[in-house]
Structure 1
Amino acid sequence: MPNPPFAMLASTAEVLARPDADERLLTGYERERLGRFRRDTDRDDYLAAHLLVRYCAAAHLGTDPAAIAFGQRCPGCGSGVHGRPYLTDRPGTHLSLSHTNGVIAAAAAPVPVGVDVEHLGPRHDDPTALRHVLTPAEAALVRGHADPTAAFLRLWVRKEALIKLGRTTLDSLAELDLSHLPIDPPAAHRDGDLHYLEIATATAVFTAAATVPVQLLEL
């Protein structure tokens, strides 16, 4: 049987505290990107995310993080220095990663997988922003929720995860209606052929989506 899909959720500090959190695990172009960040917090988030996806892939494959042959490919321009993450030597393994303000997420699976995490920040109830991201039914759910910010971000991370999964695009977010899904769901739930793993913490909301159940793995 294929190895189970794994997702990991952690803070940047937790990832960088690991004894094997060494930027030498990164490729040359990743290290070059690290050197271009002006803010230390942005640099640390990038480094932690690119390490965490290796830890997740290593757990999924039963190997060492140093053995992970990480690559990226942009489906738009074809660049190999940004875009969707993948394993250069294992085309049957799918990766996803996300980072935001000190919170990191990653996933590895035998099928396409999408993961997103967003930090709970200012209120998201601007009508223009809602119109560009949500359907009218979703916007009504956000406005009627006890915590509009958390409700908006729950829908946002779902849609971002589906972009990374290949089910929608950034330009089509306002046409993708997920208002039939609960805003405050159980951690694991289904919608058609998709399995969702969704978590809300005191500081962030997280979603992983795939066509098979995804297991949350502790760092």
Structure 2
Amino acid sequence: MRQAAAHDDRTLAVVVSTADVLGHPAARRESLTAAEQRRAAAFRFDRDRDDFIAAHLLVRLCAGRLLGVPADTLTLEQHCADCGSREHGKPSLAGVPGVHVSLSHTPDVVAAAAGRQPVGVDVERATVSGTALGTAGRVLSPQELRTMRATARPDRYFLRQWVRKEALVKIGETSLRDMAKADLSALPADVPDGSPRLSRHGELHVLDWTDERRDAVAAVVSAGRPRLGVAAVPLSDITD
């Protein structure tokens, strides 16, 4: 591992624990907007609130690294194209139209990405419930369903495709209702723990990551080739 430069034009993607973000000296809660603070306060459980806050701070850290500016000087905005709300939806940086950002959170683990090209990221805990698997017919293409049924770990295969497709939704390449139309069966099913794997889906780059220690699976989809992988802590260390 090597330390990335303070100013870096490459797509940055980080998967890390919620606790590590909240304990990072540059992750300042006071940088959250009023809308983010309202959404954070609405969570019933502290754990969920912390995950939300950590993801919104981590995306600032990634963008700050990309731009070479302090993370707490960046303002995160969101806009929902369906309802017009500014309280949720696709994230962006106020006053920085040339940078694309994405974020995700799952219990105790968060992910974020920032780049000069459109990018989407998703992270989920690796344990898949039977209820989630029951949605496979609405999420997977016919070929993906056949592959899932033939694999020794159908739950892991489903989850791998799920995070990829969630990232595709965030980048605007598909929608939640059209997930099954996106056939990702040609992408590798096996992603070894701790080794980012880069693949192609048409003109898009897909970066997969498995983190057994955090019981997490993540995917990054970018229009530009991610030249950096997904990092574990500390946040100053990012793998090529």
- TM bucket (normalised to shorter chain) is over 0.9
Once the two structures are TM-superposed, the CA of residue 121 in structure 1 deviates from its matched residue by: 1.6
Residues 87-108 of structure 1, C-alpha deviation per residue, up to 9 Å, x if partnerless? 1101111110000111110001
The match for 2:127 is 121
Deviation at 1:22, TM superposition (A): 2.6
- On the 8 A contact 1:125/1:149 being kept in 2, the answer is no
Could you list the per-position Cα deviations for residues 128-172 of structure 1 after superposition, in whole angstroms to 9, with x for gaps in the alignment?
411111112111211222222111110001100000011000010
Instruction: Name the CA distance, whole Å, in 1 between partners of 2:68 and 2:24.
Output: 18
Number of the residue aligned with 1:205: 217
What TM-score results when the alignment is normalised by the length of structure 1? 0.94
**Counterpart of 1:210 in structure 2: which amino acid?**
S
TM-score, structure 2 length as denominator? Answer: 0.86
In the alignment, structure 2 segments of 5+ residues that lack a partner are: 1-7, 236-240
Deviations 1:34-62 (A, max 9, x none): 11111011000000000000000001111
Shift of 1:216: 2.8
- Report the counterpart of residue 191 of structure 1 in structure 2: 201
Asked if 1:62 corresponds to 2:74, the answer is no
Query: 1:205, CA displacement in angstroms?
Result: 0.8
Alignment partners' CA distance in 1, 2:44 and 2:118: 33
Task: Please give the per-residue CA displacement for 1:40-86, whole angstroms capped at 9, x wherever unaligned.
Answer: 11000000000000000001111100111211111111111111110
- 1:123 CA displacement: 4.4
Backbone CA RMSD of aligned residues: 1.7
Could you say if the C-alpha distance between residues 124 and 205 of structure 1 is closer, same or farther in structure 2, counting changes exceeding 3 Å?
A: farther
Identity %: 44
* Count of matched residue positions in the alignment of Structure 1 and Structure 2: 218
- Tell which deviates more after alignment, 15-24 or 61-70: 15-24
The answer (yes or no) to whether the contact 2:14–2:111 under 8 Å persists in 1 is yes
The structure-2 alpha-carbon separation of the partners of 1:179 and 1:37, relative to structure 1 and needing over 3 Å to count, comes to: same
Aligned counterpart, 1:216: 229
CA distance in structure 1 between the partners assigned to 2:48 and 2:72 by the alignment? 23
SS in structure 2 opposite 1:32?
helix
Alignment-mate amino acid for residue 73 of structure 2: A
Matches within 5 A, 1:99-114: 99-114=105-120
